[in-house]
Amino acid sequence: MGPIMSTGEMSTGHTVLGCQTTDKTVVTLFIILVLLCLVAVVGNGFIIIALGMKWLLRRTLSAHNKLLISLAASRFCLQCVVIGKNIYVFLNPTSFPYNPVIQLLNLMWDFLTAATIWLCSLLGFFYCVKIATLTHPVFVWLKYRLPGWVPWMLLSAVGMSSLTSILCFIGNYMIYQNHARSGHQAWNVTGNSLRHSLEKFYFFSIKIIMWTIPTVVFSIFMSLLLVSLVRHMKKTFLALSELRDVWAQAHFKALLPLLSFIVLFISCFLTLVLSSASNTPYQEFRYWMWQVVIHLCTVIHPIVILFSNPVLRVVIKRGCC
């Protein structure tokens, strides 16, 4: 889910004019990063194809799978953008970090990253409403209303993601225009002052706000879901002994993907925030390690989805046969 460079990170020493030496460890981590992105592309692409074929053949798809295929499509496109950005920056280490090419890549990255976070949050909200055994009238009402809200939920995710990318693009464009007016002198005092101010206050603030809101929503509803499942599990142990093992296994199968979803989502969010706040140059080992950790999370979650979703499990079994 993370970039090689976020919008606010790329001018904080990621490129040094005249310096094109690259550490071998950085090259190794770069290769690992690209391989992780390719694995994520394959995993998400498989989810898109499997659910897309079902959608075409049956002319219908459940609300949950609509959110799932939207999330997979967002991640698929994001990983492609990340690969493109990584290769461009790696091959052009002395390029100005706000040139038109990187601005375009940043625009797509900001949109797709925000869309991925919002879709994960909406998927967590959907899980909570549909799976939780809460008897509050609001939850009962939501269970019947929620499937019809999925198109509007997707539109809201697109709208909030577009707002994030546009706000970040405005800051990128301001820096580039100042750079162009200064005669393309990348390290003049005025340009540095504007760039550092926007990175420290503007870019970081936008991302923290736009990433934190869906993360808080996700955390609240996932907590409610876990509390509901734990309470339900306690009740099952008071049931008849012959049904206890079956129910315990069912709850364990439901809890395992949910827990992995929560851990991976929170891990990605924290690493993205720390990466955006960091001033580590991209040539350094520590920066690339952050990126590998971020993309390791994005590789694991599609695999968990493939083996926990009933529809995708059937496709995998047929493929193996």
- Tens-place pLDDT, residues 296-319: 877 888 887 777 777 777 766 665
Tokens encoding 148: 């019809």
Cβ burial, residue 183 (10 Å; 0-12/13-18/19+): exposed
The CA-atom distances, in angstroms, between 28 and each of 246, 281, 284 are 47, 16, 12
Q: What is the pLDDT of residue 282?
A: 57
CA distance 50 to 80: 19
- Report the C-alpha gap between 206 and 259 in whole angstroms: 29
| 48-90: pLDDT as tens digits | 988 888 888 888 888 888 898 999 999 999 999 989 988 887 7
pLDDT digits (tens, 9 = 90+) for 280-294: 655 567 767 777 887
If one compares 172 and 125, the residue with the highest pLDDT of the two is 125
Residue whose structure tokens are 């920066």: 287
pLDDT-derived band at 114, boundaries 50, 70, 90? very high
Give the model's pLDDT for residue 12.
37
DSSP, collapsed to helix, strand or coil, labels residue 4 as coil
Average pLDDT, the chain: 77
pLDDT at residue 200 greater than cutoff 60: yes
> Considering only 190-204, 213-227, 230-244, which range has the smallest mean pLDDT?
230-244
Q: What is the pLDDT of residue 38?
A: 92
Taking the CB of residue 168, how many other CB atoms lie within 10 A of it? Answer: 26
Is residue 100 within 8 Å of residue 176, measured between CB atoms? yes
Give the model confidence (pLDDT) of 201-218 as tens digits: 788 888 888 899 999 999
pLDDT band at 182 (very low <50, low <70, confident <90, very high): low
Check residue 135 and give its pLDDT.
75
**Counting beta carbons within 10 angstroms of the beta carbon of residue 211, is it exposed (0 to 12), middle (13 to 18) or buried (19 or more)?**
buried
Rounded distance between C-alpha atoms, residue 191 and residue 296, angstroms: 35
Residue-level pLDDT at 134 = 75
> Is pLDDT at 186 greater than 60 in this prediction?
no
For residue 262, report the phi and psi dihedrals to the nearest 5 degrees. Answer: -65, -50
Give the pLDDT band (50/70/90) at residue 1: very low
Residue for token digits 């995710």?
157
177 or 189, which is more confident? 177
- Residue 114 burial (CB count, 10 A): 25
Which pLDDT value is given to residue 57? Answer: 82
* pLDDT higher than 50, residue 17: no
Residue 157 has pLDDT above 90, yes or no: yes
**What pTM does this model have?**
0.82
- Which range is least confidently modeled, 101-110, 177-186, 262-271? 177-186
Please give the domain boundaries of the chain with CATH numbers for all domains. 20-186+195-320 (1.20.1070.10)
Q: Given this model, what pLDDT does residue 247 score?
A: 55
